[in-house]
Amino acid sequence: MTIALSQFDEVRLDRVSRDFGALNALRDVSLTIRRREFIALLGPSGCGKSTTLNCIAGLLPVTGGAIWLDKSRVDTLRPEERGFGMVFQNYALFPHLNVRQNIGFGLKMRGKPKAEIDRKVDEALNLVRLGGQENKLPGQLSGGQQQRVAIARAIVIEPPLVLMDEPLSNLDAKLRLEMRAEIRRIHNELGATTIYVTHDQDEALSLADRIVVLRDGVVRQAGTPKELYEAPAHLDVADFMGFRNKLQGKVVGSDGSRVVLDVEGARISGVARESLSTGAAAYAAVRPDDLMVGEAGQNAIAATVDTIEYRGREFVGTAHSRGGLDFVFRSHQSVEPGSPVHLRADDQRVLVFAEPIQGRQ
């Protein structure tokens, strides 16, 4: 293998901030990326994940903090001096250059000899499985092929860090799954270090070694996919991890990590994820998978079914409570829309959070 990515130990973001006028797009983001890691920056649009990526790439100057590549400071360098490979959301392929010229662009700008460029471009073409397409213009390629060119172009310059900005968002569902697997394969084969921006938790969970959830320019939680999936630290992280049912209530009692909420008169108990005091407002979060039609009683809440969908092995329905809470639930039997049900969840599967942060402070 002649494509050998530059070696380093870690990239460190040290309290990086970025303001746009009065708007703090990023606030004191600190993050250490170790060699060969696949990091996903996850969050809703406007959370600052793309801003973070652009700051690392050098396309946006930081307004505070520093970025380090081992012992050298890189946030003061121009993007062309950093040498990080970047894959853009719309691919940003040069429309006037063919596939081979697009991939070889970075090497040509570095003044590499032609033989070396050819050899490395060939290898990159093989790596992304684009053999036979090298003389086509980007406009003649399908979306998936353009994506492969964009990846090849970014890795052929042997960057220490590969940055990807929602690279799959322009592809259809089937291609997205295929390219997701391809991205992970290429990452592994090259031993690359990748920072991957996405708003899709499935992508983040399946690709990343570590996920960083951002919201309003602040890191809300960072951890392995398993940690985030099983133990989200905040309500907004839980929301991203598929806890679609958020039951607002009031804390009526607690016992160690177990808390009991009053939700519209029903008693819902669950595992506290944040410190909660009696009488405070709180949210019980439950995944649709864990909310089932059942008997009235402990951890059950009365609701009226709105819709019910057949999903093969089971049914997925939506319902609302007297007080206006919306639910998504699972059921083994079909339930008539309009009929009253009790939805219950195992108290081990209910996570209880404090009030979420309210917008930007």
Partner 1 sequence: MDALAPAAPVEHGPSLRQRLAARGFDAVTLLVIPAAIFSLLLFVYPFAFGFVLSFEPKAGGDWLANYRRFFSDPFLYDTIANTLRLAIPVTLLNLLLAVPIAFRVRLMRRQRLLTTILVLPITLGTVLVAEGLLNYLGPQGWFNRTLITFGLISQPLKLVHNYWGVFASLVITGFPFTFLLTLSYVTGIDPALEQAAATLGASAWQRFRHVYLPLLMPGFAITFCLSFVQAFSVFPSAVLLGEPAGVTRVISIAAATAAFEEYDYSMASAIAMIMGFVQLGIVLAVLASRGLFYRGPASGAKG
Position 106 contacts partner 1 (CB under 8 A): yes
**Gap between the Cα atoms of 127 and 112, Å rounded:** 20
The values of phi and psi at residue 76, to 5°, are -90, -5
Q: CB under 8 A: which stretch of 103-111, 127-135, 208-216, 333-341 binds partner 1?
A: 103-111
Q: What character string, x for contact with partner 1 (CB under 8 A) and - otherwise, covers 162-201?
A: -x------x-------------------------------
Position 138 contacts partner 1 (CB under 8 A): yes
The contacts of residue 313 (CB under 8 Å, 6+ apart) are none
Residues numbered 226-285 forming contacts with partner 1, rule: CB under 8 A: none
Which of 127, 110, 10 has the alpha carbon at shortest distance from 70?
A: 10
Instruction: Return the number of the residue (99 or 292) whose C-beta is nearest partner 1.
Output: 99
Q: CB under 8 A: which stretch of 106-114, 273-281, 289-297, 317-325 binds partner 1?
A: 106-114
Q: CB under 8 A: which stretch of 10-18, 151-159, 216-224, 331-339 binds partner 1?
A: 151-159
Q: How many CA atoms lie within 13 A of 50 on its CB side?
A: 11
Strands 194-198 and 162-165: parallel
Q: What character string, x for contact with partner 1 (CB under 8 A) and - otherwise, covers 62-81?
A: ----------------xxx-
Which of 296, 291, 298 has the alpha carbon at shortest distance from 267?
A: 298
Bridge partners (DSSP) listed for residue 19? 24
Strand order in the sheet with 23-34: 23-34, 10-20, 64-69, 72-73
Judged by the rule CB under 8 A, the positions of this chain that interact with partner 1 are 57-59, 78-80, 82-86, 88, 90-96, 105-106, 109-110, 137-139, 143, 146, 153-154, 157, 163, 170
